[in-house]
Amino acid sequence: MWGWTRVGGSGVPGLDCHPPWDVSAVPLQHGGMHLQHHSTPPAADIPCSAYRSSWSNPRIEWKFQKGSSLVLFYYGGELTEPYKNRVQFSPTTIHFNTVTREDTGKYICEVVGDGSHIAKSEVNLIVQVPPSKPVAHVPTSATIGSKAVLRCTETDGSPPPTFRWYKDSMLMPTNPKTSLTFRNSSYTLDPVTGELIFEPLSGFDTGDYYCEAMNNVGSPQKSDQCLGCHWVLRVGTRRTLGSVTSSNTLAFSSTTGKKVIYSQPSHRSEVSTGWDGWVVTVPRGCVTSWRGV
């Protein structure tokens, strides 16, 4: 049995949960409000510390605030939708049978007693969810000397995860100029958005890339890698006629002095290049590894 962390000389109403969830609350007095911050297990009790048992027949209302949105949670003696089937009410507590990341937000309990007595308490609820496997989005085309953007996305983690990128299994620093390995590359890496931007793209940037999502809840998660079926983007001068089955075709050409890299789906049985270049076939589904020149 885990419970609230007691801070100072006053106790905080109990919270029941089970390991391994990290649960803590820090009571603060601010402008007459009782503010509490905690993380929750799959089921959680949120106390209404504003409740006064000495008040005769008090009226209790709960509100839920998420960003700029404020909705009634419990009003007129009834739970509102969509909480009816998963929340239980008592004068001192609301009990969630299950919680999701969408339940993260501020819960406001307002108690009105006789003689216009009003008490209010707030609980900032943080539902912690480990990140799921992220997806690395790679460009379908890239030109040497131009801008190329790779994105890493993840939709389940709470709080939202931060991101890291790896090239050939080596962690990429946010500033390439701080690393002897990456100092010849010109890129920016935003850990918050997960964007890896090459500007300009150069031959040094050839490699296998994947990303990682983390939020200090559970283990970091890496995007998929297609071992043996990487996106291999290289520029060549060999004239090639190739046989292609149902797959993605990566073609590279030299036109007007620029080296252009692009990919396109193909259902043809034969591919013939009308220019000096290479044709590389990649099995479908290999969308998270990328080589650029």
pLDDT above 50: residue 64: yes
Q: CA 17 to CA 19: how far, in whole Å?
A: 7
Residue 287 lies in a domain: no
Rounded mean pLDDT, 7-24: 31
Query: Where a domain ends, among 127, 145, 172?
Result: 127
Looking up residue 119, the CATH number of its domain turns out to be 2.60.40.10
88 and 227 belong to one structural domain: no
Span 28-47, pLDDT tens digits = 333 334 445 555 557 788 99
- Residue 133's pLDDT is what? 95
pLDDT at 166 over 80: yes
What average pLDDT score do residues 147-162 get?
Answer: 92
Claim to verify: residue 150 and residue 208 sit in the same structural domain: yes
* Greatest alpha-carbon span in the chain: 91
Please say which residue of 111, 127, 143 terminates a domain. Answer: 127
Top pLDDT among 98 and 64 is at 64
pTM for the model stands at 0.57
The per-residue pLDDT for 225 is 63
Dist CA 273 CA 267 (whole Å):
16
- Tell me the mean pLDDT in the region 149-168: 93
Three-class DSSP category at 202: coil
Q: Are residues 94 and 155 in the same domain?
A: no
Pair (52, 109) in one structural domain: yes
Q: What percent of the chain has pLDDT over 90?
A: 28
Q: Which domain holds residue 262?
A: 135-282
pLDDT in tens, 2-13: 222 222 223 333
Entry field: residues in the chain: 293
In this structure, the answer to whether residues 229 and 261 fall within a common structural domain is: yes
Question: Above pLDDT 70, what percent of the chain?
Answer: 62
Q: Which of 167-176, 199-208, 213-222 has the lowest mean pLDDT?
A: 199-208
For residue 286, name the pLDDT band (cuts at 50, 70, 90).
very low
Shared domain check, 202 and 94: no
What is the pLDDT averaged over residues 76-102?
A: 86
Closest CA to 199 of 146, 140, 138: 146
Average pLDDT in the chain: 69
Residue ending a domain, among 77, 105, 127, is 127
- Give the residues across from 110 on adjacent strands: 61, 120
Q: What is the pLDDT of residues 115-129, one digit of tens each?
A: 778 899 999 988 888
Please count the other Cβ atoms lying within 10 Å of the Cβ belonging to residue 30.
8
In this structure, the answer to whether residues 89 and 142 fall within a common structural domain is no
Taking residues 60-79, report their average pLDDT: 88
In a domain, 292, yes or no: no
The predicted structure's pLDDT at residue 115: 74
Q: Are residues 102 and 176 in the same domain?
A: no
223 and 99 in a single domain? The answer is no
For residue 109, being part of any structural domain is answered with yes
Count of the separate structural domains present in the chain: 2
